[in-house]
Amino acid sequence: MAVTIRDVAKRAGVSPSTASRALNGKGRMRPETRARILRAARELGYRPNVHARGLATRVTGCIGVVIAARHLPVERSFYGLVLEAIESTLDQEGYHVVFSVLRDQSPPKCAQEGRVDGLAILGTDIGPELVLPLRKQLPLVLVDHAIPGVDSVLPDSESGARAAVEHLLSHGHKEIAFIAETLADPSFARRLAGYREALADHGLPYREELVAEGGRRPQSWRPAMEKLLRLRKLPTAIFAANDSMAIGAMRVLQERGIPVPEEVAVVGFDDGDLAPYVTPPLTSVFVPRWEMGEVAARRLLELVRGEEPRARQVMLATELVVRRSCGCGGG
Amino acid sequence: MAVTIRDVAKRAGVSPSTASRALNGKGRMRPETRARILRAARELGYRPNVHARGLATRVTGCIGVVIAARHLPVERSFYGLVLEAIESTLDQEGYHVVFSVLRDQSPPKCAQEGRVDGLAILGTDIGPELVLPLRKQLPLVLVDHAIPGVDSVLPDSESGARAAVEHLLSHGHKEIAFIAETLADPSFARRLAGYREALADHGLPYREELVAEGGRRPQSWRPAMEKLLRLRKLPTAIFAANDSMAIGAMRVLQERGIPVPEEVAVVGFDDGDLAPYVTPPLTSVFVPRWEMGEVAARRLLELVRGEEPRARQVMLATELVVRRSCGCGGG
DNA sequence: CTGTTAGCGCATTCAA
DNA sequence: TTGAATGCGCTAACAG
């Protein structure tokens, strides 16, 4: 049997309730009594029982992190780093992470069972019909997704996309394609919006035929690129909604002997781990994934602690990282 | 206030304990009583309180998954897929995953606080001095690591390495280098052992100068490759302890204009996601990472349920996947 | 087959 | 400043 608060109390010569107060730093008490109790706890290696405490306080000390199955495998996912950042931030505050994959559109079990005090939801595959009822149950923060009235943290995709396209425009490109896995994903849709804005700002028309989706299959860049390759005239630049599409596009181009960036420039989005290592190194829009996780975790802690109930949407700055795939000389 | 078992019992016209038995399927009871109770629970939307149950049964329904900080980021880690497999397997059995990063050599907090019924420890950075005491506290399974007397599941690295080297030998290679991030990692050391065995089996000497470590830094392939490139005569083949080293080696060779596989053949280990997509496609030893996670999770469930207390070491078969980097024509 | 009773370990009233 | 009493919701041992 593990050491309980009664053992600590007995050893310190006080009652369990006094021990409880000392251990939790609540109420006033004589410093020496407190010290005696803390010492006893230390000597005994006392660890409060999570369940007993949870039962009494209705607090779990856990935050659920939910990711949709579509974003798996974690190791290739945009959200891997976000997960780590959340874990790291919560760990420092004594909270734990319950990691859970959403395989269908039913609410995560960890929330249903009351195992967590709050929820971070990664990605856009979880709609309002699921989120809104959940939000009434417990604090909740969306990461990389926005639903009105719900706390969220996401990157400034539009500005990032605009910066990318403007960079290509400044290279003199006039025919810039946009490719994405799917435009049904709001995150990618925002990148498309930025692309359109940049074109419009420069008086260029938006041309449907230069926009291609690949679908959610693996290697989804192939169908997208096929559409572009069927054009009478290849665009001189491709802006991809994420790095994986960009790298796939480069692969297809190189397979056909089309040199990148000489014939076709390529710019990606996310600035993931691979970007510096592909050939040529990929120019990409940096997304502060770690920071997204950190901000989400901190917000969740605030909510769990009952502060500031008004929903807040945090948008983090992105930044174009110039390498060589856009035609610049850099690293 | 949430609906409790008393509400269910009242509605079904029975006592709470009867309701408890019905809900948990314990003991015999009249089928219609059970049905009535289950219906009442459903109608009320009853959710058992985890803490109350945990307090009464001393079971948490959670398994901790611990990964050493060295293996981060998850998204590039060998263990990302293992994590998912564990989550998936446990989810099916109603268990939850507490994800935790080990940042120093102190025992994971989730275990100390009794938040989990068992522990899966990923990787080799956690030594006996930490594992052995933990194991006395709770069920524990090591993944990709072995400590005598502790349950573990790991890939058959030696056989895999032997198969890889024998394949290269069958191509006629006589000077085969071995590179690894570090030989201090037991997992990589086993791959070196397989390499040596294969050489010995074929009457070839083990040559120190053909074995190079890179260290644990990012891009650790550079120092390793520098050692090899300083040799009077370049080896005709390189066997790398993991894909990341292999891909880095190919990059260095190609930077110097040395064609792969014509001048130097390369074989990797892990058969990770990138292997088919690099140029040339990487021949690599497949490691059943998903299965490792699944087996570990099932074993953990057995242990948690009190079956079979004798420690067991499970070694899963690996398999050489031949592509083009070894000089074969395949995909 | 079912109900009564007791207790899991803790935090929190309320008295003293 | 401290202690005694109470209850969080559930399961298990024991009666009936």
Domains A62-153+289-315 and A157-287+320-326 share a fold: yes
Least confident range from A126-130, A203-207, A231-235: namely A126-130
- Please choose, from the candidates B104, B86, B103, B191, the residue with its C-alpha nearest in 3D space to the C-alpha of residue B141: B86
pLDDT on residue A331 = 53
- Distance from first CA to last CA of chain B, Å, rounded? 61
Minimum-distance residue to D6 (CA–C1'): A56
Residues of B in contact with A275 (CB under 8 A): none
The residue-averaged pLDDT of B287-293 equals 97
Least confident range from A71-85, A279-293, B250-264: namely A71-85
Contact between the CB of A11 and strand D at under 7 Å = no
pLDDT in tens, A165-202: 999 999 999 999 999 999 999 999 999 999 999 999 99
Taking the CA of residue A211 and the nearest CA in chain B, the distance in Å comes to: 25
CA distance A166 to A273: 24
| pLDDT greater than 70 at residue B300 | yes
User: Average per-residue pLDDT in chain B?
Assistant: 92
Å from the B11 CA to the C4 C1': 19
Which residues lie across from A240 on neighbouring strands?
A179
Q: Which residues touch strand C (CB under 7 A)?
A: A 1-2, 4-6, 16-17, 20-21, 23-24, 26, 46, 48-49, 52-53, 55-57; B 13-18, 21, 27-30, 33-34, 52, 55-56
Most confidently modeled range among A36-40, A101-105, B157-161: B157-161
Query: Could you tell me what percent of chain B has a pLDDT over 70?
Result: 98
| pLDDT greater than 70 at residue B211 | yes
| pLDDT greater than 60 at residue B53 | yes
- Which 204-223 residues of chain B approach strand D with CB closer than 7 Å? none
CATH of domain B157-287+320-326: 3.40.50.2300
| pLDDT greater than 80 at residue B227 | yes
Query: Could you tell me what percent of chain A has a pLDDT over 70?
Result: 98
Å from the A58 CA to the D2 C1': 26
Which nucleotide is at minimal CA–C1' distance from B51?
A: D9
Tally DSSP H helices, then E strands, for chain A: 12, 12
Contact check, Cβ <8 Å, B96/A110: yes
- DSSP string of B77-97, one letter each residue: STTHHHHHHHHHHHHHTT-EE
CATH superfamily of A62-153+289-315: Response regulator (3.40.50.2300)
Determine the residue of chain B that is closest to A58 in CA distance: B51
Listed in sequence order, the residues at least 6 apart from A118 whose beta carbon sits closer than 8 Å to its beta carbon are A63, A64, A138, A139, A140, A141, A300, A303, A304
| pLDDT greater than 70 at residue A308 | no
pLDDT on residue A278 = 87
Contact between the CB of B59 and strand D at under 7 Å = no
Contact check, Cβ <8 Å, A47/B97: no
Taking the CA of residue B88 and the nearest CA in chain A, the distance in Å comes to: 8
- Please choose, from the candidates A205, A217, A287, the residue with its C-alpha nearest in 3D space to the C-alpha of residue A245: A217
| CB-CB contact of B63 with B53 (8 Å) | no
pLDDT in tens, B238-248: 999 999 999 99
Q: State the DSSP H helix or E strand holding residue B17, giving kind and residue range, or none if neither.
A: helix B16-24
State the pLDDT confidence band at A1, using cuts at 50, 70 and 90: low
DSSP state of B101: E
Residue A193 Cα to chain centre, angstroms: 20
**Domain boundaries defined on chain A:** 1-23+31-36, 62-153+289-315, 157-287+320-326
Minimum-distance residue to D9 (CA–C1'): B52
Residues of A in contact with B251 (CB under 8 A): 277
- Distance from first CA to last CA of chain A, Å, rounded? 60
Taking the CA of residue B48 and the nearest CA in chain A, the distance in Å comes to: 7
State the pLDDT confidence band at A316, using cuts at 50, 70 and 90: very high
The residue-averaged pLDDT of A236-255 equals 95
CA distance B270 to B235: 22
Minimum-distance residue to C3 (CA–C1'): B15
CA distance A67 to A99: 8
| pLDDT greater than 70 at residue B330 | no
Q: Which residue has the tokens 């880690």?
A: B77
Contact check, Cβ <8 Å, A80/B74: yes
- Please choose, from the candidates B228, B322, B329, B240, the residue with its C-alpha nearest in 3D space to the C-alpha of residue B283: B322
| pLDDT greater than 90 at residue A35 | no
The answer to whether B52 contacts chain A (CB < 8 Å) is yes
Taking the CA of residue B283 and the nearest CA in chain A, the distance in Å comes to: 19
Cis amide leading into B128 (omega within 30): no
The residue-averaged pLDDT of B261-282 equals 93
Minimum-distance residue to D11 (CA–C1'): B56
Determine the residue of chain A that is closest to B87 in CA distance: A100
Residues of B in contact with A88 (CB under 8 A): 101
Å from the A30 CA to the D2 C1': 10
| pLDDT greater than 90 at residue B317 | yes
The residue-averaged pLDDT of A64-86 equals 89
Nearest-CB residue to B84 (from A48, A62, A72): A72
pLDDT on residue A257 = 94
| pLDDT greater than 80 at residue B17 | yes
Å from the B9 CA to the C4 C1': 14
Contact between the CB of B2 and strand D at under 7 Å = yes
| CB-CB contact of A196 with A206 (8 Å) | yes
State the pLDDT confidence band at A217, using cuts at 50, 70 and 90: confident
Å from the A134 CA to the D7 C1': 28
Whole-structure pTM value: 0.90
Least confident range from A40-44, A75-79, B107-111: namely A75-79
Least confident range from B1-15, B122-136, B229-243: namely B1-15
- DSSP string of B168-182, one letter each residue: HHHTT---EEEEES-
Residues of A in contact with B54 (CB under 8 A): 50-51, 54
pLDDT on residue B229 = 95
The answer to whether B112 contacts chain A (CB < 8 Å) is yes
| pLDDT greater than 60 at residue B293 | yes
